[in-house]
Amino acid sequence: MRILGIDPGLRNLGWGVIEAQGSRLSHVANGILHSEGSDLARRLLSLHEQLTDVLHRYAPETAAVEHTFVNKDGAGTLKLGQARAIALLVPAQFGIAVGEYAPNAVKKTVVGVGHAQKGQIDHMVRMQLPGADIAGPDAADALAVAICHAYQGAAATRLDQAVRRASA
């Protein structure tokens, strides 16, 4: 199963694509999308167009997006939420199911502890996807989201699909 992981951000949106065959994972591609434009609408459109291109190029079968949490800056949180909406919308436009995971769940799945640091995430992603040339911390986080989905969500998706086929 080909999985797209997304680490949403308004300036930098990380993405990573992996293949999961049973418990075996392999790296396909990763990168960071940089929003362009002077106003919010143009920046969101830029992310939408770039993420659409990623889905066209790599044709994932499922996707996963990291949850965001409210921080002290309410306006910043709202803008991040809008970028996250793009991360949810684009896969949905392709008819792809999207899993959502809290940052602590991603860290616990990939590193083993829910409060892991960026460096620990990067290290464990590289351990699980040997030979991957990771574009940066946002891409490493996106690959971690994809890995989390491979272990948690993709199995549930396969079970759901099997139940639907059996019921048809």
Q: Which residues are annotated as a binding site?
A: 7, 66, 138
138 is a catalytic site residue: yes
Q: Which helix (H) or strand (E) holds 28?
A: strand 24-34
Q: Which two tokens stand for residue 60?
A: 């994932």
Q: How far apart are the first and last CA of the chain?
A: 22
7 is a catalytic site residue: yes
Q: Which amino acid does the sequence have at 148?
A: C
Which of 39, 66, 100, 160 is catalytic? The answer is: 66
At residue 13, the 3 state secondary structure works out as strand
Task: Detail the DSSP E strand segments found in 47-151.
Answer: 62-66, 98-101
Which of 7, 39, 53, 133 is catalytic? The answer is: 7
Q: Which residues make Cβ contacts (< 8 Å) with residue 117, sequence separation at least 6?
A: none
Q: Which residues make Cβ contacts (< 8 Å) with residue 85, sequence separation at least 6?
A: none
Annotated binding residues for Mg(2+), written as ranges, equal 7, 66, 138
53 is a catalytic site residue: no
Catalytic site positions: 7, 66, 138
